[in-house]
Amino acid sequence: MAANSNKLSKLTQSVHVGSKGDSLYGGVVNPIYPSAAYDYETEVRYPRYFNTPNQKAVVEKLVALENGEDGLVFSSGMAAIMTSLFAMLKSGDHVLFQNDLYGGTHHAAVTELNRYGMEYSMVDVSDLKTFEKAIRKNTKVIYVETPSNPLLKITDLKGVAKLARKHGIITIIDNTFASPVNQNPIDLGIDIVTHSGTKYIGGHSDITCGVVVSSKKLTDIIRKSAVNFGGTLEAQTCYLVERSLKTIVLRVQQQNKNALALARFMESEPKIGNVFYPGLKTHPSHAIAKKQMPGGFGGMLSFEVKGDPAKFLSKLKLIKRAISLGGVESTITSPVRTSHAKLSAAERKSLGISDKLLRFSVGIEETEDLINDIKQAL
């Protein structure tokens, strides 16, 4: 099944892989198996061993969509990210992060790694030669995120994978913003793909989960740490994730289409300043994005309003002011007040995040309705 399924299109994979149905009654969907206790003479199964039927169904779908060999589903994106990092590192090791990270990952790195004797640095990845110079003798992991939050910067994944291989370093990517529909980093040589499944994978702003997809070998190593850290996902939520994944391609295709149309509209709108979207020809890394995101440029974009951003937000009727992203409904956040609130003003300034910046998670609504909502709010 797994071998052939790679030849199927993503639309078909998202519906069928891992969803074998109910052999007892002939139902077309997978049953929910809530059991936390299994007969140990058959196979030692336990939710925290990451091997229950509903966990496996989710993993099979994501492994197919990401072109990996194996994977794990976690209780949150941070559980997936931190478990992967800690599984690859030990005291004395160094991690090289790209400098524009999701706020939660930045905070976790800064507050946790040194306490465990691990070193890290955060370096601009836009020039790979400078980035390579930051590699140390004890660098074990390179960690990247593209498109980045909130400025939608693009990291050249093939370039990063190549230099990491040269130095024998493991690469981890946070692929949340792109989703498995638009970008498959394993195809480009990246070792470990992580997602906050709370976003596009769940897709309806009602599930918290995380995902790792990798080779068989690296997944086995991460699973050993995952069993100890315990960030497991229970059956009911796994079923909801599996259900969500059946429509991920349709959802993300509409989000790609809407985001591109909105970015183009905003670029021509005098009341809006800078627009950040990798699908725009004016984006500095548009050419790289086009190559490494064959499915589309994603549903995330950022922009600066020239007037008062709080006033603009309060006037929106359809688009909701909310944190998180990747849902079917359009939402907008102010990074200064949310994802990057934990950074100092100086840190934000160095990353280019202004007080006027708004981050837009584009939903699956009709394009014209979204454009009209923004027009009337401006």
Ligand X SMILES: *Cc1c(COP(=O)(O)O)cnc(C)c1O
Q: Which residues bind ligand X (CB under 6 A)?
A: 76-78, 102, 104-105, 149, 174, 176-177, 196, 198-199, 208, 210
The set of residues, in sequence order, having a beta carbon less than 8 Å from that of 30 and lying 6+ positions away, is: 18, 19, 20, 21, 22, 53, 54, 57, 239, 242
Query: From the CB of 25, what's the least distance to ligand X, in Å?
Result: 34
From residue 173, alpha-carbon distances to 193, 227, 294 in Å are 5, 21, 17
Q: Which residue is nearest to ligand X (CB)?
A: 77
Query: From the CB of 105, what's the least distance to ligand X, in Å?
Result: 6
Q: Are β-strands 331-333 and 357-361 bridged in parallel, bridged antiparallel, or unpaired?
A: antiparallel
From residue 233, alpha-carbon distances to 35, 43, 239, 291 in Å are 13, 19, 10, 34
Q: Which is nearer to ligand X, 157 or 377 (CB)?
A: 157
Query: From the CB of 288, what's the least distance to ligand X, in Å?
Result: 19
Query: From the CB of 41, what's the least distance to ligand X, in Å?
Result: 36
Q: Which is nearer to ligand X, 57 or 78 (CB)?
A: 78
Cα(124)–Cα(128) distance, integer angstroms: 9
Question: Strand, coil or helix: what is 275?
Answer: strand
Q: Which is nearer to ligand X, 81 or 377 (CB)?
A: 81
Q: Which is nearer to ligand X, 18 or 326 (CB)?
A: 326
Cα(290)–Cα(303) distance, integer angstroms: 21
Candidates 252, 323, 246; CA nearest to 60 is 246
Cα(31)–Cα(56) distance, integer angstroms: 12
Cα(69)–Cα(151) distance, integer angstroms: 31
Q: Cα Rg for the chain, rounded, in angstroms?
A: 21
Q: Which is nearer to ligand X, 201 or 218 (CB)?
A: 201
Furthest-apart CA pair in the chain: how many Å?
69
Q: Which is nearer to ligand X, 176 or 254 (CB)?
A: 176
Q: Which is nearer to ligand X, 178 or 272 (CB)?
A: 178
Q: Which is nearer to ligand X, 159 or 210 (CB)?
A: 210
Q: Which is nearer to ligand X, 83 or 219 (CB)?
A: 83
Segment (H or E) for 173: strand 170-174
Candidates 7, 1, 42; CA nearest to 20 is 1
From residue 335, alpha-carbon distances to 44, 197, 284, 326, 348 in Å are 45, 20, 21, 16, 10
Query: From the CB of 3, what's the least distance to ligand X, in Å?
Result: 31
Q: Where does residue 228 rank: exposed (0-12), middle (13-18), buried (19+ CB within 10 A)?
A: exposed
Query: From the CB of 210, what's the least distance to ligand X, in Å?
Result: 6
Query: From the CB of 80, what's the least distance to ligand X, in Å?
Result: 8
Cα(153)–Cα(290) distance, integer angstroms: 13
Query: From the CB of 279, what's the least distance to ligand X, in Å?
Result: 18
